Structure 1
Amino acid sequence: MSASLPIPNFFNPQTVGEVWRVPYLERANDAKDWIAKHNIKPAATDKKRICLMAIDVQNTFCIPDFELFVGGQSGTGAVEDNVRLCEFIYRNLGVLTEIAPTMDTHTAMQIFHPIFWTNDAGEHPQPASTISHADVQQGVWKVNPAIAYSISKGNYVGLQQFALHYTKKLDDDSKYPLTIWPYHSMVGGIGHALVSAVEEAMFFHNLTRHSQTNFEIKGGNPLTENYSVLRPEVLKDAKDRPIAQKNTRFLQKLLNFDAVIIAGQAKSHCVAWTIDDLLSEILTQDPKLAKKVYLLEDCTSPVVIPGIVDFTSQADEAFERFAKAGMHIVTSQMAIADFPGLDL
């Protein structure tokens, strides 16, 4: 079997930016034929175990006109990224052992959504605005009393104290300030779903390699943002009691692969934060492990909201830091078999 496979005829790059139903039974039949035609072996036989982690390739981030479409510098970044990502999966189907998509998963009443906050006029903050620790201290923005019933069993004072702690903790840890995002990745909603074309590629991989797609859910805690799939932004409350924990199970699973390839959205936020947490763990275990991480730079884009925010430089600086630590910057046009340091 060739290390690089052809792209199946059913893949249509023109529909990657659209939402549609994946024809599972047809793809299952196609997968059976693909196995026979290209002599594809089950993933269990792989001598080198390779994981593709696809971060938040969901409609909410990747489909134009959805809530948080990542346009990047081109304005159509996430769509272009996902065309390349799908083609990368199909070409490297025979050597990708496992695909692990992360799923940003939210409900309405979370600390980064407008309903969580209010001012003296009864208004909620606008999406893309930020709330600083000083804003909370000075009462510019306060926790909305109406949410206490659902979030803290009516303990409004406790919620307000936590808001002070949370915004201060972000400052102390040099995190991004608390950003108010549009309601997005709402569990049960169409925005939460994987991009149809990407889901199709992953389903096809699942059946051709007999390797279950490993979905990793993140972001459901109402009291903290969870840019990284490996840990939330804040782990403890003001009294040092845990409110969340690191995803140590998934962290260790990633490090047990011979290679981890990372793509997804957005380069400046969930992608960068996940890689940063992975690198932190690597540095505590063995810095040489960084060499097994490969970043698909042309399958990720930064958050850019024209005239409001542009995180391109922050994303690029993060990737430069990852490369200096030993991670490899690669493109989707490269066959995995040609990745530096990876001898298949």
Structure 2
Amino acid sequence: MNTQATSQLPIPPHFYPDKVGEVWRVPYQELATQAQVWGKQHNIQPASVDNHRICLLLIDVQNTFCIPGFELFVGGKSGKGAVEDNQRLCEFIYRNLGVITTITPTMDTHTAMQIFHPIFWINATGEHPIPAATNITPTDIEQGIWKVNPAVANSITQGDYELLEKHAYHYVKQLSQDGKYPLTIWPYHSMLGGIGHALVSSVEAAIFFHCIARQSQTQFEIKGDNPLTENYSVLRPEVLIDFAQNPLAQKNTRLIQQLLDFDAVIIGGQAKSHCVAWTIDDLLTEIKQVDAKLTKKLYLLEDCTSPVVVPGIVDYTEQADAAFTRFAAAGMHIVKSTEVIQLIGN
């Protein structure tokens, strides 16, 4: 990144790569003490003195997507994709501790009664759609193959079933008109209050270590809690306007402006084909409205993200690779986590 190379730090002794695929309690106080000692040993300065400000944007590095056996584990082509990605990601954070100004993890955040979960829909016999194997199109609703479950209206629209039906049909139709993926029914995942919602333990430890060593508050970004729209991208939901042309949800304009203000934004996380690609695509749209040359501030960690691959069912590798090719053509840098960050001014 630019011209003047900065030396990388060693990996702290508390990091164990073989624990990245496991869930465990982060020992905060012990880790905080280690981070302060580490900072003094390696002359790590507070982030507040950075002349060249770098944001590490981590998309949905949560147990639900990154731990084998959890709801939507992103295995990628290797079958171990997210675990391997997070091993490299942790090492990237530790090696570049002294130059990453802010770490911004996004948190996919759901409750049960949302438009993409099975309980929201039923067929003529009262059965719910099979998650990860069901897409719902406008035609499906028009033909009565799937309809909104009347029982959920009590929780979402104060019992107004007709209103909820209008919302749902408009939403599915809008996805089709906008050329987006059809509404996918996903397994219950990233459930608020559940262990799947939490950051991967090893990544959380690395982020906390950075927070203490650099005295830089971690900036968590919640997304996906609106019951009537998907929210793959952290920057905006899939649909912004409801059937009555009223606001359904809003763009995260605060985060958009913050990202554009950084000197560099490095992006990794899960999944390459969905939440990562959608976030980058939305950021690209915002950049084009300001100055297309700002794409040169974006660095995509290609070895810290994997596509959704469910053997025998779906494989989004091609779509993910096509998106990254398009991002590179727009001026973004496709990089590996082992590359040395180069700076001016620090």
**What range describes the TM-score normalised by the shorter chain of this pair?**
over 0.9
**Contact 1:3-1:94 within 8 A present in 2 as well:** no
8 Å CA contact 2:265–2:297 kept in 1: the answer is yes
* Corresponding residue for residue 222 of structure 1: 227
Q: Which residue of 2 aligns with 1:317?
A: 322
Deviations 1:143-198 (A, max 9, x none): 00000000001110111112211111001111110000000000000000000000
Counterparts of 2:200 and 2:337 in 1: how far apart (Å)?
Answer: 18
Secondary structure at the counterpart of residue 244 of structure 1: coil
Residue 11 (structure 1) aligned to one of 5, 15, 36: 15
Deviations 1:279-334 (A, max 9, x none): 00000010000000000000000000111110000000000000100000000010
Which of 15, 23, 32 in structure 1 is aligned with 2:36? 32
Q: How does 1:104-123 map to 2 (within 5 A)?
A: 104-123=108-127
How does 1:71-110 map onto structure 2 within 5 Å?
A: 71-110=75-114
What secondary structure sits across from 2:219 in the alignment? coil
The CA distance in 2 between the partners of 1:239 and 1:83, in whole Å, is: 47
Structure-2 separation of matches of 1:293 and 1:117: 39
CA contact (8 A) 2:6 2:342 kept: no
Q: Give the equivalent residue in structure 2 for 1:162.
A: 167
Alpha-carbon distance in 1 for matches of 2:7, 2:243: 53
Specify every segment of 5 or more residues in structure 1 that has no aligned partner in the other structure, as ranges: none
Q: SS at 1:102's partner residue? A: strand
What SS does structure 2 have at the residue aligned with 1:153? Answer: coil
> Aligned match of 1:296 in 281, 298, 301?
301
Look up the SS of the partner of 1:54 in the other structure: strand
AA matched with 1:154: G
8 Å CA contact retained: 1:56, 1:102: yes
Paired letter, 2:73: F
**Is structure 2 residue 198 aligned with structure 1 residue 193?**
yes
Distance (whole Å) between structure 2 residues aligned to residue 3 and residue 267 of structure 1:
29
Shift of 1:105: 0.2
Q: Percent identity?
A: 70
SS state at 2:276 partner: helix
Q: TM-score, normalised by structure 1?
A: 0.98
Matched, 1:258 2:238: no
* Aligned counterparts of 1:165 and 1:153: Cα–Cα separation in 2: 19
**Who is 1:275 aligned against?**
280
* Aligned mates of 1:31, 1:146 — CA distance in 2: 50
Whether the 8 Å contact between 1:151 and 1:222 is mirrored in structure 2 is yes
Report the CA distance between 1:3 and its aligned residue: 2.5
Q: Secondary structure at the match of 2:74?
A: coil
Whether contact under 8 Å (1:136, 1:163) holds in the other structure is: no
TM-superposed deviation, 1:257:
0.2
Amino acid aligned to 1:238:
F
Contact 1:337–1:343 at 8 Å: present in 2 too? no
**CA offset digits 1:78-125 (Å, max 9, x no partner):** 000000000000000000000000000000000000000000110000
Tell me, yes or no, if structure 1 residue 207 matches structure 2 residue 212. yes
Give the C-alpha shift of residue 343 in structure 1.
7.2
Name 1:69's counterpart in structure 2. Answer: 73
Q: What residue identity is the alignment partner of 2:261?
A: N
Secondary structure in 1 aligned to 2:342? helix
SS at match of 1:224: coil
The reply to whether residue 246 of structure 1 matches residue 238 of structure 2 is: no
2:60 to 56, 63, 69: 56
Q: Structure 1 CA distance, aligned partners of 2:178 and 2:273?
A: 17
Query: Deviation of residue 204 (structure 1)?
Result: 0.1
| 1:16-40: CA deviation from partner (whole Å, max 9, x where unpaired) | 0000000111111111111111001
* Contact 1:58–1:191 (Cα < 8 Å) also in 2: yes
Give the total of aligned pairs. 341
The residue aligned with 2:185 is 180
Structure 2 unaligned regions, length at least 5: none
What amino acid is aligned across from residue 67 of structure 2 in structure 1? I
Report deviation, 1:337. 1.7
Distance of 1:343 and 1:67 partners within structure 2: 44
| Equivalence map 1:324-339=2 (5 Å) | 324-337=329-342
Distance (whole Å) between structure 2 residues aligned to residue 134 and residue 3 of structure 1: 57
User: What CA distance in whole angstroms lies between the structure 2 residues aligned with 1:252 and 1:42?
Assistant: 23
Give the 4+ runs in structure 1 shifted more than 3 A.
none
SS of the equivalent of 1:262 reads strand
The 3 A distance-change label for structure 1 pair 343 and 296 is farther
Cα 1:308–1:276 change in 2 (3 A) is same
